[in-house]
Amino acid sequence: MASGKILRQLIRAGTTGDSDAFRQASEAVIREEREKNHHMLANDLERLLYGDRSDLSASRNRLSPRQAPPISKDSGLALLEERPVLREEKDIVLAHATRKAVEEIIQEHNRADTLRSYGLRPAQKLLFFGPPGCGKTMAAEVIASQLSMPLVLVRLDSVISSFLGETAANLRKVFDYLSAHSVVGLFDEFDALTKDRGDSADHGELKRSVNAVLQMMDGYRGESIIIATTNYESLLDKAVWRRFDEAIEFGMPDVEQVRQLLLVKLSGVRRNFDPEDSSVTSLFKGMAHADIERVLRRAVKEMILSHREFLEPTHLETAIAREHRARD
């Protein structure tokens, strides 16, 4: 039996008419059945999906793709970029309050019909704020994964233009796309679009972009989930905050979160130390989640390339020293 996640993705794709998402979910079902050695069923499902053709890759290409992302008239670059969803809920370590808030968002969307029966809607416009590397983008990926929705990154380098009115025009294309599809739309570094309009250092086009964002957020009625992230919440225009259904803070990891990160990221790695030992966790004091993950990845690589059987504390210390040098 296919997993609940894939079944939700199949039904969502079927009801929205998204043939590309339907194909991807169907292929995931086929892969699952092959892994279970249900080869006859997998073959039957392939024939149903692609037809009785020997060249399956050619028939795959004939399926209608999702609507192409809009492009900037100024630069000719795409305004949106679909990102692969690689992280799942088990991969992320957050403070209890932050994790609970993210889980509630997922629950609201999984039970959207119940909310609508009471005249309510799930939270669709979310602001994630806090220091860099503390899980904001990863949380957006987890939401997309849990809800079986594509993750689409808004490319601010393409959206923001120096030409009069072009930034607002690009934003309109982005919001039109989000309204027409059911995706998780990620505005990373949202402060680049919505800095305080009282900042005299900004030129007029960026100030106009704030007004455009406010109007489009007010008028948004689509099915996509909009997630904006910022490392510098103090820079945001005060009027922007009221446009979000939820604002969730992501903080630096405490000792307990560092322990959890080490246990999760070093799962399956043979090691000569206890990740829960205070002498080990103290090595990572002052580091963000992403910094810790990078250090651990670097330490494991060194272990492998030096032909060592176990990960040693010295591997961690060397990787941490390199991390500190990179910051200086």
Range with lowest mean pLDDT among 40-54, 100-114, 169-183, 207-221: 40-54
Mean pLDDT of 96-102: 96
Mean pLDDT of 194-221: 77
Q: pLDDT at residue 314 above 80?
A: yes
User: Taking a C-beta distance cutoff of 8 angstroms, is the pair 235, 191 a contact?
Assistant: yes
CA dist 135 and 113 (Å) reads 29
Closest CA to 277 of 295, 259, 254, 300: 259
Adjacent-strand bridge partners of 154: 80
Closest CA to 23 of 5, 38, 6: 6
Three-state SS at 246: strand
Phi/psi for 5 (5° steps) reads: -60, -45
Banded model confidence at residue 201, pLDDT cuts 50, 70, 90: low
Angle subtended by helix axes 19-35 and 4-16, to nearest 10:
150
User: How many C-beta neighbours within 10 Å does residue 288 have?
Assistant: 19
Q: pLDDT at residue 195 above 80?
A: no
CA dist 227 and 171 (Å) reads 15
What the block records as the tokens of 208 is 């106009």
| Cα distances (Å, whole numbers) of residue 7 to 3, 34, 45, 172 | 6, 17, 15, 33
pLDDT the model gives residue 61: 37
pLDDT the model gives residue 35: 66
CATH number, domain 255-327: 1.10.8.60
Kindly give the pairing relationship between strand 125-129 and strand 225-230: parallel
Domain 80-249 of CATH type 3.40.1190.20:
no
Phi/psi for 70 (5° steps) reads: -70, 160
In tens, the pLDDT along 209-267 reads: 888 899 999 999 899 999 999 999 998 988 999 999 999 999 999 999 999 999 999 99
For the chain, what is the radius of gyration of the CA atoms?
23
> Domain map of the chain by residue range?
4-62, 80-249, 255-327
Q: pLDDT at residue 189 above 60?
A: yes
Closest CA to 232 of 275, 295, 188: 188
Q: What is the mean pLDDT of the chain?
A: 86
Closest CA to 312 of 273, 282, 281, 277: 273
User: Taking a C-beta distance cutoff of 8 angstroms, is the pair 133, 290 a contact?
Assistant: yes
> N- to C-terminal Cα distance for the chain?
52
CA dist 91 and 143 (Å) reads 12
Adjacent-strand bridge partners of 247: 127
In tens, the pLDDT along 46-92 reads: 767 766 433 433 333 333 345 788 998 878 889 999 998 888 888 89
pLDDT the model gives residue 66: 59
Closest CA to 227 of 286, 196, 183: 183
